[in-house]
Amino acid sequence: MDDDPEHEEADTGGGGDDPIPIGVKLGSTRTVITVPEDDGFRTVKTLTCLATYEDVITGEEKVLYGEEAATEYPDRVQYTLRSGLPEDESRAELTSTFFEEVIDANDVPENSAVVYAIPTIDNERGLANLESVIEGSSIGEALIRSYPESLCGSVPAMGDGLEAVDDIFVTVNLGSTNLEASAYRRGEQLIPFTTGAVTGNEVDRMIANYVEEETQGRVNIDTTTAREYKEAHADFVDFEPFTDVIQQPGGGSHEFTIERSVMDAVDEYVDDAVEEIANAFLPELANDYIKVYQLALDRPIVLTGGMACIPGIVEEFEERLSEELQRDVEAVAPDEPAESAAVGAQRIAERLVAADAY
């Protein structure tokens, strides 16, 4: 990063009048905010959901967000960005309420330069609604900018600074609501590709269906439980069968063991993701930018998004894509794929502050 001592306080989030550089990803499943603090960073991570309830004494409407809302009010919790964007004004209003609750509860500074990691989705209305949420928030008094989530997410995977902005590479975002892919040429996004046919949310639905099949109809789980199974147990390296217990209608409990359902679902997901990248995205890139295609495939493909957190999925993707393309392909992922977009956005904000671009 910029070593100019004049901007040292901005680089560390220190005092003075310099705005604090902050990175934000408002995700369909989780929201992540990265704030510099002392010699490191503070990361706020929460489920993108809220629930309201009435104070029994005052009658005042109260708001809970994140894990607390999902746990205490599963019957009426609302995930405000289920499709990746607020689809209408009411959903944008809910998202604004959620975001302000997160900001207030976690002391995110108003005197800040905020970079948002934005999904690559062809939805003008949804993007406009998201823009209204961003511009209406209490943070970002000094500066508000947005960059593609796939670029922000790739930044931590490619070095300790902003090496990704000066490189040519392909990135694949294995997200909850979409599979996204893009090529980047020194920060310029080329051939942005999005499909809702291969998603982490669909994996959750598949797990729920497969659990019912594996238990011969004795167990039915919802998609929230399926997501928890996926996040806790999916592992291409060392998967082990696991047990759980459900309460039976009318009393009693039933213990069951899951041996195949989780891994069958994520295994199919990798095959489908490779199919989309190899036969839809990459041919279009080669057709329009053959030199970029050649250069990019000589470099590692960067995997980001929540599904990239599954142990061993990077190696599985690499092996299967290499087989599909009949050439060696390398894949990499940041250390924390689910947080990488906010981390990369924060580094971009840091650079903007250092350059006095506010």
Mean pLDDT of 347-355: 93
Residue 120: pLDDT band by 50, 70, 90 thresholds?
confident
pTM of the shown model = 0.86
Strands (E) located in the chain: 20-26, 30-37, 40-47, 49-54, 61-65, 78-79, 112-118, 143-148, 168-174, 179-185, 188-195, 242-247, 253-258, 301-304, 331-332
User: Residue 4's pLDDT is what?
Assistant: 40
What are the tokens at 144? 């508000």
User: Residue 33's pLDDT is what?
Assistant: 97
- How far is the CA of 84 from the CAs of 63, 103, 111, 123, 288, in angstroms? 22, 20, 27, 10, 28
Residue 186 has pLDDT above 50, yes or no: yes
Contacts of 299 (CB under 8 A, 6+ apart): 167, 168, 169, 170, 330
Sequence spans of domains, the chain: 20-157+337-355
Q: What is the pLDDT of residues 14-66, one digit of tens each?
A: 445 789 999 999 988 899 999 998 888 899 999 999 999 998 899 899 999 99
CATH of 20-157+337-355, one of 3.30.420.40, 3.30.1330.10, 3.60.150.10, 3.40.50.300: 3.30.420.40
Residue 8 has pLDDT above 50, yes or no: no
Name which of 175, 133, 357, 159 is nearest 276 in CA terms: 175
Mean pLDDT of 301-330: 96
Residue 176 has pLDDT above 50, yes or no: yes
* Percent above pLDDT 70 for the chain: 95
User: How many of the other CB atoms lie within 10 Å of CB of 204?
Assistant: 24
Residue 259 has pLDDT above 50, yes or no: yes
User: Residue 16's pLDDT is what?
Assistant: 55
Residue 5 has pLDDT above 90, yes or no: no
